Structure 1
Amino acid sequence: MSSSLRTPFTPAVPVVAPKPFLLTPHQGEAARALLAHVSALPLTTADAQLLATVVTIRAARAGVGNLTGQDVRSLRLADPEGAVTAFAALGWQGYEALLGGDLVTPVGVIVPDLSGQPESALHFGKLMRSRVSGWTVRTLSAKPVKKTSTAARLAALFLAAHGPADEHGTLPAHLPGHCRAALPELLDKGFLRELDGDRYLLAEAVRHLSGMRPLPDVQPATRDEPEAEGPSWQEWKDRASVALRRHVEAVESCPECALSTARVSEAFMRKALPAQFGEKARTAYGVWAAKYPDQGPAAAESAAAFRALHGHGPSVKQLCTALGWGKMSRQLRIHVIRRLIAEGWLTNTDPVPWTLRPGKAAQTGTAAAAPVAARRG
C-alpha cells in the first residue's frame, strides 16, 4: 500500500507593505543637525527643549519661526509658560505673544542665529526644512509616543533621528539627561523594541521614522532632492478662501476638541478618495440599522448641539460616538452617515471635514423620500 506525503494546509498570511520612510539619508542628517543644535542651547527643561525644537525647524530657513498658541497647546507641555519664557535666555524675540489667550493668530518668533544666511547655524533649503518639520510632527504624533511625557517625546525625536531602521543604534552623546531617564517609557509604549544600556532598536511600527534608512543597492548619481513639494500647512491656509479659513481656525482652536495641528492639517490637506462599500459593509449596515432604527432625528439633533457647543460640525467619528452606537468600523461609520445624508437628516460640505449639520428633513420634520432599494442597502 503506497502512501503519499501531504503538506498541511497553511492559510496565506496577508503581506502588509511597510510604511515609506519619511526622510532621505540627507534629510536624516539635517534632522540630527537640528537636534544637536537644540541640545546645545542653554535650556534646562524638556518642555523648553521640545518647544525650541519646533520653533527652530520652522525658523531654519529665514530666521523666523511662525507658530500659534494652538501649536503650543498641542505639544501638551507640563509648563508651557515656563518653556516660552525660557527663550529670553536665548536672545529670541517676539515669543511673548504666545503667552496670550489667542490660539489662532500666528506669532513670528525671531531666532537671530538662523538668519537664513549661508553662515547661519542651520542652513536648510525649502524642501529640506519642510520635510524635517513634517518628520518632527509625525514622530511626536506617533501612536506609541503621543501619550508619553515631554521628555519621552523629545527622546523619541533623538532616537528616531539617530537610529537605523533595522539595526541597533547607539544613544547619541548629546541626548539630554531627562530624556535618558524617560527611555523606559518608550520601551513600555512600544516605540523601542529593545533597550540595553546605550544600545536600542526601534520598533517595527516606527521604523519608517528612522533618520538612517537602509541605503539602496544602487546609489543615485546625486543627492539632489525632488523638485516638487506640496504646500506647508500655513501655505495651504493662506491659499484658502475666507470662509474656509474661518472654518479651519474654528476647528484648530476649538477648546472642546483640543486637536493637534498634525491631526487638523492632515484632515484638511489629504486628497479626498471615494469610499467603496462592499457586501461586508452593507451587511454590517443592515445589522446596525436593525439595532438602531430611526436614528435620523437623533443624529440631526446631536449634530446641531455639537455645532452650538464647538462652533463647527462634528466629524463622522465624533457624531457616531456621541450617539452611543458602539464600536463601529470606519467603513460602517461612513456608510451610516452617508445614508443619513441621503435621507436628508444630515448634510455637509463634502469633502471639507467637520462640516456635518442638520439636513432639510430635520428642518421640516419629515425624512426625505428614499427608494426602497436604497433602504435595503
Structure 2
Amino acid sequence: MPHDLQPVVLRDELVELGSQFREYQQRPEPDLALLAGLHERKARAFAAWADVTGDINLRLEARRAEQAAATARMQHLQRTGQCADDGTPAVARLLTSPTQWEHARSVLAHVADHSPLPGPDARLLVIMLTLRTAHTGTGNLVGQDVNALNLDEPEELIGRLTGCGWLSMPGTVDDLLASRPESPTPITVPSLRPREDGSGPFSFGRKVRPKLSGWAQRVVLDKKLRKAKATSAVRLLALQLATRTDASGRLGGDQEGIPLDVLAAWVPTDSAALQPMLDQLTRADWLTDATLGPTHLSGQLSERVLPFSCPLV
C-alpha cells in the first residue's frame, strides 16, 4: 500500500484492517460473524482503492473479499442454526421427515459395518467425516470441527485414518488441525466416491447431506453434553438413541425398546457399560425418564431399553 495514498481516510482504513486481520489470526477460536464483517470491510476498502488507482487487480481482490464474506456469513448461519436473509433455515438442524431419519440411520449403520479403526473415538470421528463427505466423497474440514469433538488423541486418529488409506488430504495432520474457516482443508474419503454408474453407499442427495451433518453436529456438540464432559461413547449413544425415536420423542417402536446387545454394538461398548452412560445422559438432562426409564436396565428387564423422551428429535 502506498504510504502517500489518498484520501487519508482510505489509507487509515486499510492500515486498521491489516491490524484487525492479524489480530483475528491470533484468536484461539474462530468467530465467523466477525470474520465476515472484516471481509465486508475489506471488499469496500479495496473497491474504493481500485476507484482511486484504476488497478483491475484491486477490483478482483475486492470481489474475492465479497465472496469470502458471503462464505463466512453462511458458515456462521449454518453452525448456529440461524436463518438466511430470505428467512429460510441455513441448515435444517432437526430432521423433519421419516425418510431423513432413515438416511441418518443408514449412515450410522454404514460406519458401524465399515469403520476402519476400533473404539468410540474413532467411530465418532468417522461418522462426522462420513457425513461431511457422503455425497461426493469429498468435503472441507477445519481444525475446530475436529477439536470440538473432544477426542483423546485426534492427531493420532487422523494419522491412522490417512495411514490406512481411508482418508486423504493435502498437507499434514497439524496443518488440518490448525486450519481455519477462511482456509479449510479439502478432504477425501475414497470409499465414498460414487461408482462409475453414479451410485454410492447412500441414497440421499446433495441437499440432504448438510441437513444430516448439521443435525449430527448439533447432537454431539449439544451444550448439555459438553457441560457433562460426555465421552465419545456417550455422544455416540446419544446419536443412536436420537435416531430410534418416534415422532413424539419416545424411544423404540410401539414402546418395545431396543435390545441392549444391539445398542452396545452400535456405540460400541459392553452392554454392562450402557447403564452408567444412560445415567449420565439423564443427569445431564439430555434424557428424561418416562414411566419405565433407564433404571430398568437391570433385573428382569435387562434385555430392553424402555422408552424415554429425548429433547433433540
TM-score computed with the length of structure 2 as normaliser? 0.54
SS in 1 for 2:102: helix
**Partners of 1:71 and 1:46 in 2: how far apart?**
17
For the pair 1:199 / 2:277, whether they are aligned, the reply is no
State the 1:176 CA deviation: 3.0
Aligned to 1:125: 205
Aligned to 1:371: none
Aligned to 1:188: 283
1:94/1:21 Cα in 2 relative to 1: closer, same or farther (>3 Å)?
A: closer
State whether residues 63 and 113 of structure 1, in contact with CA within 8 Å, keep that contact through their aligned partners in structure 2.
yes
State the 1:65 CA deviation: 2.9
State the 1:90 CA deviation: 4.9
Aligned to 2:7: none
Aligned to 1:54: 128
Letter in 2 for 1:43: L
**Partners of 2:123 and 2:103 in 1: how far apart?**
17
State the 1:27 CA deviation: 0.5
**Among candidates 120, 132, 154, match of residue 80 of structure 1:** 154
1:33/1:90 Cα in 2 relative to 1: closer, same or farther (>3 Å)?
A: farther
Measured against aligned partners, the alpha-carbon deviations of 1:304-337 in whole angstroms (never above 9, x if no partner) come to xxxxxxxxxxxxxxxxxxxxxxxxxxxxxxxxxx
For the pair 1:166 / 2:285, whether they are aligned, the reply is no
1:183/1:85 Cα in 2 relative to 1: closer, same or farther (>3 Å)?
A: farther
1:178/1:64 Cα in 2 relative to 1: closer, same or farther (>3 Å)?
A: same
SS in 2 for 1:83: helix
**Partners of 2:148 and 2:191 in 1: how far apart?**
26
State whether residues 69 and 103 of structure 1, in contact with CA within 8 Å, keep that contact through their aligned partners in structure 2.
yes
Pairs aligned (count): 188
Aligned to 1:145: 225
State the 1:166 CA deviation: 2.5
State the 1:56 CA deviation: 0.3
Letter in 2 for 1:125: G
Measured against aligned partners, the alpha-carbon deviations of 1:16-71 in whole angstroms (never above 9, x if no partner) come to xxxx9533110000100111111121321211111111110111111013211111
SS in 2 for 1:47: helix
Q: Greater share of helix residues, 1 or 2?
A: 2
SS in 1 for 2:172: helix
1:53/1:110 Cα in 2 relative to 1: closer, same or farther (>3 Å)?
A: same
SS in 2 for 1:91: coil
SS in 2 for 1:58: helix
SS in 2 for 1:126: coil
Aligned to 1:102: 178
Aligned to 2:266: 175
SS in 2 for 1:32: helix
Q: Superposition RMSD on alpha carbons, in Å?
A: 2.5
SS in 1 for 2:157: helix
What pairs up with 1:2-81 in 2 under 5 angstroms? 21-40=94-113, 41-81=115-155
1:144/1:95 Cα in 2 relative to 1: closer, same or farther (>3 Å)?
A: farther
State the 1:82 CA deviation: 2.3
Letter in 2 for 1:137: Q
1:133/1:149 Cα in 2 relative to 1: closer, same or farther (>3 Å)?
A: same
SS in 1 for 2:158: helix
State whether residues 48 and 83 of structure 1, in contact with CA within 8 Å, keep that contact through their aligned partners in structure 2.
yes
1:83/1:130 Cα in 2 relative to 1: closer, same or farther (>3 Å)?
A: same
Aligned to 2:190: 112
TM-score computed with the length of structure 1 as normaliser? 0.45
Measured against aligned partners, the alpha-carbon deviations of 1:91-125 in whole angstroms (never above 9, x if no partner) come to 32117633335231312221112113443112421
* Identical residues among aligned pairs (%): 30
Give unpaired runs (5+ residues) of structure 1: 1-19, 210-377
SS in 2 for 1:39: helix
State whether residues 65 and 109 of structure 1, in contact with CA within 8 Å, keep that contact through their aligned partners in structure 2.
yes
Runs of 4+ in structure 1 displaced over 6 angstroms? none
Measured against aligned partners, the alpha-carbon deviations of 1:201-252 in whole angstroms (never above 9, x if no partner) come to 3435x1x42xxxxxxxxxxxxxxxxxxxxxxxxxxxxxxxxxxxxxxxxxxx
**Partners of 2:307 and 2:221 in 1: how far apart?**
19
